[in-house]
Chains A and B, each alone.
Chain A
Amino acid sequence: MREEDELIRAAVGGDLGAFDELVLRKRERVVRTAFQVTGDLEEARDVAQAVFLRLWKVLRRFDPGRRFDTWLYRITVNLAIDQLRTHGPKGFLQPLPEDPTALATPTGPTPEEALDLASLERAFLRLAARLAPKQRAAFVLREIEGLPTEEVARALGVRESTVRNHLHQARRVLRAGLERDYPALASLFSGRRTGGRWS
């Protein structure tokens, strides 16, 4: 398997095969990010296609001194935020289809004991609809995708202090929403078990 730096260099040089390999490696992360920002899987798919087509178009301008992933995230969140602003938050009643293998492995905990990701997704999409687009994007990049704050700032084109402010606001809204609308979940993280899945 080729190293990522080598793939990027080849793709920048116009190697379509290398670009296809990059798409394969990055597409899930791009779709997931777009999905968490827009709240709609079909829109996320469209955003992802637009992201990679734009990437192919402007790849020759990529500065090797910069981080490729940050650049990719920047394109992704910009297009996803545009989509969100155009169509509004939606999809909170239609989370990702459940993947049975993601809920529990044969040797792992039962679904009742593990956190149900589909339910968690549903809660997030419903509560995140109350966030401003950039607050939502900052939360997705920092908390779900795990980017450092400075990279989130570069991806969003804002200062780090602005990112911290966005994150503070987003956490406050999500925390309040969880405690108000999902009390069963509160028992899970506070150690008070209620048994069964939460909704």
Chain B
Amino acid sequence: MVVSGCPRADVLAGFDETHGAERTAVLEHVRACGRCREAFLGGDPSRLFALLALQAIPGDVLLAVSSGISQETSGPVSTAASARTGRARSSAWAAAVLLAVTLGTFVFRPVSEPTRSELASIGGGADRRPAAGVELLSSPGAARVVDLTVGETQVVMIFDERLGL
């Protein structure tokens, strides 16, 4: 069937350069007009698939796309993207804290921390020397200050029964 208003031959030949409404109009015509279709195909039947640009997408599918996007982009805390970003940030902070705790344990482990009995002996016995790396800064008495220093790491402990320390 040949419908009226066939496009000029140069329009069919230059179809690849057409866009938008003009392209759609040519395709609509080619779909209906056998003679123009033959000219349009130019011996290559695979060009027929250009007509699939006319295929309408069902409205319910388009609606589902829009509503899905609206749910994700609207609302202050409902976006999946920001939720994912927030979770990633929380995970990063948790990992950093865990790493710091692990490294901290590793750094402090070599230090021989005095036991309560050792501390008591440090404060009470003048003839006994403190454990290695432990320095008694204050003289024995009500309050005691113990400096545990290994390399650049320093821990100062204060003991004072009157203050509950």
| Chain A residues near B (Cβ < 8 Å) | 16, 19-20, 23-24, 27-28, 30-32, 35-36, 41, 44-45, 48-49, 52-53, 56-57, 96-97, 99, 101-102, 108-109, 113-115, 117, 120-121, 124, 139, 143-146, 170-171, 174-175, 178-179, 185-186, 188-191, 193
Contacts and interface: CB of A to CB of B under 8 A. Distances in A.
Contact of A32 (B16, B49, B55, B68): B55
B66 A185 contact: no
Contact of B65 (A27, A108, A144): A27
Dominant SS among interface residues on chain B: helix
Contact of A120 (B48, B57, B61, B69): B48
Contacts of A24: 66
A41 B32 CA distance: 26
Dominant SS among interface residues on chain A: helix
B62 A28 contact: yes
Interface of B: 1, 3, 16, 18-19, 23, 31-32, 34-35, 37-38, 41, 44-58, 61-62, 64-66, 68-70, 72-74, 80-81
A31 B52 contact: no
Contacts of A193: 34
Contact of B44 (A36, A120, A124, A175): A175
